[in-house]
Amino acid sequence: MTVNQAQALIRAVEEADSSSRLLEAVQHLSAARVTAAIPTLIAALGYNNPGAAVAAVDGLILIGEPAVVPLLELLDGYNYGARAWAIRALAGIGDPRGLDTLLDAAKNDFALSVRRAAARGLGKIRWEELPSEQIQPAQERSLEVLVQVSQDPEWVVRYAAITGLQELAKSLILSHIDSALQILAHFDRRVEEEDNLAAIARIWLAQKEIQDYTKEILNSQGDETVSTLDIDWQATLEKLYARKRREEPLREGDPRKFRELAAAICSAIA
Amino acid sequence: MSELENLEAFETDGSGNGESLTVEAAIANLSGTDLGQRYYAAWWLGRFRVSTPAAVDALIATLSDESDLTPDGGYPLRRNSARALGKLGDVRAVPGLIACLDCTDFYVREAAAQSLGMLGDRAAVPKLIQLLAGGLEAAQPIPGCPHLAQPYDAILEALGALGAAEAFSSIEPFLQHPTELVQYSAARALYQLTQDPVYGDRLIAGLKNDKLQLRRSALSDLGAIGYLPAAEAIAQTHAENSLKLISLKGLLEHQIDRSPFERLSEGAIRVMALMDDLL
């Protein structure tokens, strides 16, 4: 797309004189996926036109990373109408710079549609984009907030928190098995306490998705095939721990290092 | 559309809303002299699902209240009590609600029909069918009147919810009613009575209606009947995500109810995938 084409699409949004023309213009601009569109799409979040706002959120998610800072700046301002839409866009992008905003929104926003979008977004954070020493503390904070939000008074917010916890458990399964296990134990408790059938079904699905993902990890690396229909978590965890140990470089002084050395010496002597 | 009350339109947490009451105070207020407090107490007991026998008895007693009467013949307290009783699930309210179907106030009849559908007691069926007598001819819009002669949509939906197969021929003509909302209610009821996809598909077509209010109504109807073939159309219609999620929740719950021995049916997984994307 040339600069002129992009400018024409932006002008079409600015000059739209009816709500249906505005919607159409925002859809076209969103589909173009150009960074020059960011200010115009962000402005469209505040036009009090839900159709245009949905299209603008889609467009901002497509653009992704370059839209994060402008979105965070918008949230610092006073445009409450645009706030909910900006949270949705941040949730869809998954950039870890939005983490604090999503944590706060999931826990404290008065609008359930914002809490639910933020809870969903916490499961989509791309943790690998954080400096490595910040990943674990950030995941721990998200885990704590999602556990709390999974007990929100509104069923749809609890439902969203379950999707967030599911994705978080998958991110944690190799790096911090204990935290992943904590999520599975939390699901076991919640499914007993939950009275909403849709939320219960979503917990069942989350349990299955985490199982399937775990099997996939183990099977893909030539570990023993996990084929039991009902996964035995105890045995599976042993395998995951073994897998994790293999992937960690051995520390100085680790007896296994000595064993390798001894074996090398033995074979050299022989 | 009771669950709508909890959504976008009234986003604030109910517990922080308005005057806070205790159960005892609400029941006492119902028979007090302050009309405003009586009206509020009836709503409050329904909103917070206070289904104790004392609360239900007090609400039933107000269904024949004469003190709260507006100049144009409305009975506000009766309306609120009739609505609340539908939410409390106590079938002892059924006779009083059936009597309300004869009330001179249209909105009391409407609230009673809705609540009778929710309470699931078939005792109401003959009286509900009787209100459809006269068919389409009696059900034409009245010039200058904001509502029809009877709350036809609520009556049709109640007959569907009660599984009143004997009402089929009384309901069927309403598919041709000039008001689309009434057509949808008829399609919804007929689907519940027959499980014939023709009626479910009629509601899917409603998701493409030009008017947002009608698309919302079709969403609510499809959720109520749990019509799985509508799942993708629900996800794609132009309406608020919150309403689509409620509609899909209806489909999901229906899938679980019909396959109690299979935790995750193919249909349930399909619906949840659509719901996830709407969060």
Quickly state the pLDDT bin for A119 (edges 50, 70, 90). Answer: very high
Q: How far is CA B123 from CA B93, B101, B103, B163, B247, in A?
A: 11, 13, 18, 12, 29
Mean of the per-residue pLDDT values of chain B: 91
Residue A10 has pLDDT above 80, yes or no: yes
A113/B241 Cβ within 8 A: yes
- B268 chain-A contacts, CB cut-off 8 A: 201, 205
Residue carrying structure tokens 């719901």: B275
Q: What is the pLDDT of residue B72?
A: 87
Residue pLDDT, tens place only, A163-193: 999 999 999 988 888 899 999 999 999 999 9
Contact residues of B toward A, CB < 8 A: 6-8, 11-13, 238, 240-242, 245-246, 249, 252-253, 256, 263-264, 268-269, 272, 275-276, 279
Percentage of chain B lying above the pLDDT 70 cut: 93
- CA distance, residue A166 to nearest chain B CA (Å): 12
B80, HSE (Cβ side, Cα atoms, 13 Å):
21
Q: How far is CA B186 from CA B141, B173, B219, in A?
A: 17, 8, 15
Tell me chain A's radius of gyration from C-alpha atoms.
Answer: 23
- CA distance, residue B181 to nearest chain A CA (Å): 23
Q: What is the pLDDT of residue B14?
A: 41
Quickly state the pLDDT bin for B8 (edges 50, 70, 90). Answer: very low
Q: What is the pLDDT of residue A30?
A: 95
Exposure pattern of B218-244 as b/e (b: 16+ CB <10 Å)? bbbbbbbbbbbebbebbbebebbbbbb
Percentage of chain B lying above the pLDDT 90 cut: 81
Q: What is the pLDDT of residue A188?
A: 94
Residue B15 has pLDDT above 70, yes or no: no
- CA distance, residue B249 to nearest chain A CA (Å): 6
Residue A8 has pLDDT above 50, yes or no: yes
- B264 chain-A contacts, CB cut-off 8 A: 201, 204-205, 208
B78 vs B68: CA distance, rounded Å:
8
Q: Catalogue the long-range contacts made by B209-218 (C-beta closer than 8 Å, 24 or more residues apart).
A: B209/B180, B211/B180, B212/B238, B212/B239, B214/B180, B214/B181, B214/B184, B215/B239, B216/B240, B216/B243, B217/B180, B217/B181, B217/B184, B218/B184
Q: What is the pLDDT of residue A227?
A: 58
DSSP assignment string, A128-174: GGS-HHHHHHHHHHHHHHHHHHTT-SSHHHHHHHHHHHHHHHHHHHH
B90 vs B54: CA distance, rounded Å:
12
Residue pLDDT, tens place only, A73-95: 888 776 777 888 899 999 999 99
The mean per-residue pLDDT over the stretch B70-92 comes to 94
- What's the gap between Cα A81 and its chain centre? 24
Q: Does A19 touch chain B (CB under 8 A)?
A: no
Residue A53 has pLDDT above 70, yes or no: yes
B277 vs B279: CA distance, rounded Å:
6
Percentage of chain A lying above the pLDDT 70 cut: 89
| Cα nearest neighbour of A167 on chain B | B276
Q: What is the pLDDT of residue B271?
A: 98
Relative orientation angle of helices B197-206 and B180-194, to the nearest 10 degrees: 150
Q: How far is CA A235 from CA A182, A215, A224, in A?
A: 16, 12, 11
- B279 chain-A contacts, CB cut-off 8 A: 116-117, 119-120, 156, 159-160, 163
- B252 chain-A contacts, CB cut-off 8 A: 197-198, 201
In this predicted model, which residue has the larger pLDDT, B192 or A258? B192
Sign of the four-CA dihedral A255, A257, A259, A265: negative
Instruction: Report DSSP state, residue B200.
Output: H
- Residue in A50, A159, A204 nearest the CB of B263: A204
pTM above 0.80, yes or no: yes
- CA distance, residue B279 to nearest chain A CA (Å): 5
CB B139 within 8 A of CB B131: no
Quickly state the pLDDT bin for A234 (edges 50, 70, 90). Answer: confident
Exposure pattern of A246-255 as b/e (b: 16+ CB <10 Å)? eeeeeeeeee
A198/B279 Cβ within 8 A: no
A205/B11 Cβ within 8 A: no
B161 vs B205: CA distance, rounded Å:
22
Residue B16 has pLDDT above 60, yes or no: no
> What ipTM score was computed for the predicted complex, to two decimals?
0.81
Residue pLDDT, tens place only, B164-216: 999 999 999 999 999 999 999 999 999 999 999 999 999 999 999 999 999 99
Lowest mean pLDDT: which of A21-25, A144-148, A263-267?
A263-267
The mean per-residue pLDDT over the stretch A228-239 comes to 69
Q: How far is CA B84 from CA B48, B100, B156, in A?
A: 9, 14, 20
B242/A113 Cβ within 8 A: yes
Single out the residue of B8, B239, B248, B221 nearest to residue A117, CA to CA: B8
Quickly state the pLDDT bin for A217 (edges 50, 70, 90). Answer: confident
B101 vs B107: CA distance, rounded Å:
10
